[in-house]
Amino acid sequence: MKEIKTKLLIIGAGPGGYVCAIRAGQLGIDTVVIEAGKPGGTCLNVGCIPSKALIHAADEYEKVSRLSGKNALGISTSKPKIDLSQTMEWKDGIVSRLNSGVAGLLKKHGVKTVEGWAKFRDGKTVEVDTPTGPQIIRAEYVVIGTGSAPVELPFLPFGDKVISSTDALSLTEIPGKLAVVGGGYIGLELGIAYAKLGSEVTVVEAESSILPQYDKDLIRPVLKRLDALGIKVMTKAKAKGLSTKGNSLLVENGGGVDHKIPADKILVTVGRKPVTHGWGLEEIDLRMDGPFIHINDKCQTSMRGTYAIGDVTGEPMLAHRAMAQGEMVAEIIAGEKRTWDKVCIPAVCFTDPEIVTAGLSPKEAKDMGYAIKTDSFPFQANGRAMSAEREEGFVRIVARADNHLVLGIQAVGVGVSELSAGFALALEMGARLEDIAATIHAHPTQSEALQEAALKTLGHALHI
C-alpha cells in the first residue's frame, strides 16, 4: 500500500475544512482533505442550504395560499397545490451545484481530496477506508473538522415515524400531523416550514419558553406568528416516547399526566453533538472540554501540530465560525501571525419572523458589569416594512453608557438576516452610537431601523 505524505491533512470537508483547504492551497501548502460524504458537510448537504431552500418553498406556497383569499393587495389567484417530491428535487439540484462548486475550488487550488473515513494511527498518521481500499496518509500538520450530528433520544430512536432534521429535508410527502420535539431554532425553522405547507404542527419544549437562548422581546413576534400559523406550542413539556399503537407522541406536561399528540411524523431536534467517536480519538492524546476538543485562541489542540475547527470545538455551532477558523488556521500554518480576536459571531434564527443577534444582549452586557444605554426602533414605523405587509419586529442596540461604544445589536423581523453583516461590521469596527446615527442609510429600506435605533438610544429618534 502506497503512502501519501503531505504538509497539511484536513479531516472533514465541511464549511471549516474546505475553507481551510482552499486557503491553504492559495498559500501554496501541500494539502490533502478527507471526506466520507460529499464536500460541504452538514451545512451544505443536510443543514443550512437545503433547509433554507425548503423554507423558501414554504414561504412561496404560503404567500400564494394567502392570495387565494381576500387580501389587501387586491390580487386573486386559485388555491395552490404542491408536489413535495419536485420541491425536494429542486432543493437537491441546488445542493449538487454547490457540491460541484466546492469540489472545483479544491481542485483549482491544488488540494487533493480523498473519499473515505479516516482513523488515526498516531498523531501524524491516519488510515482511510476508501472505496478502493485502505490508504495511509502522513502529515506534518493535521486539522480536525469532523463536525456534529443530531442528538438521538434513547426513547425516540430515529427511524420510520421518528425523524431527524436530516430526514425532514428529504420527505416526499407532507405529514398531516407533525410533532416537533425541541423548540430551538432547528425545530422551529422546520416546524414553521411544514405548517406553511399544510401540516398540523405541535411543538414540545421542555423549557419554559421556546428559543430559550433569546430574550422575551425577541421571541414575542415569533410566538405571535406561530399562533397565526396554527402551530400549537407546549412548554414545560417532556416527550416520553411513542404510544402503544405508535401513532402518537406521549408527552408529560406537568402533574405527571401523560398527553397523547397524534403524529404522522415526530421530528426530534433537541440539539447536536460533536462527532468525536469512530475516527481514532483514543489513539491520540487530546485535551477535551466536556464532549468537545479543547483549543486555544489559534485553534491549536493540546497536541503539537494538531488543530481543531468548527462544531467539534464547541459552541456556537455555526458554519461561518468554522469558516473563519479554517481560514485562520491555514494562514497560521503558512507562517502568518494570526489569533482568534473576533468581537462577535452573528447568529441568525431563520424562523418567521427571523431573529438576528450580534454581540451582547442587554442582560449579557449588564452581567459583565457594563452600565448601558439601550433602545429599539419598531418596524411598524419603517416605510419599507409597511409596504411589504410585514411590520412586526424591531432593531435594538446595546451600547456603553459612558462612551457609547456599541456592544450588541439584535433584530427580529422579516428578512432581517440580511442586516446581520451590517451589525457585525459595526461591532468589529468599534462603532459608537454616533457613528451609526451619522451614517446615511438608504431610503426606503429596513436598514433605516438600525440608524433610527441608534438615534433613539441617543434620545432623538426622527421617525417615532
State the Cα–Cα distance between residues 45 and 359, nearest whole angstrom.
29
Which amino acid is present at 14? G
Indicate which residue of 109, 443, 460, 463 is catalytic.
Answer: 443
- Beta partners for 335? none
Residue 251 burial by Cβ neighbours in a 10 Å radius (0-12, 13-18, 19+): buried
443 assigned to active site: yes
- Beta partners for 203? 180, 233
- Beta partners for 402? none
Strands 162-163 and 148-150: unpaired
The torsion angles phi and psi of 237, rounded to 5 degrees, stand at -125, 140
Which amino acid is present at 257? V
Look at phi and psi of residue 187 and say left if phi exceeds 0, alpha if psi is from -120 to 50, else beta. Answer: alpha
- Alpha carbon 198 to its chain's center: 24
State the Cα–Cα distance between residues 299 and 339, nearest whole angstrom.
8
DSSP secondary structure, 177-212, as one string = EEEEE--SHHHHHHHHHHHHHT-EEEEE-SSSSSST
What is the torsional sign of CA 331, 333, 43, 324?
A: negative
Contacts of 33 (CB under 8 A, 6+ apart): 9, 10, 11, 12, 13, 17, 18, 21, 106, 111, 112, 113, 114
Strands 258-262 and 248-252: antiparallel
Residue 46 near residue 319, CB atoms below 8 Å: no
Coil vs helix vs strand at 373: strand
Residue located via cell numbers 426530534: 268
Coil vs helix vs strand at 94: helix
Catalytic amino acids?
443
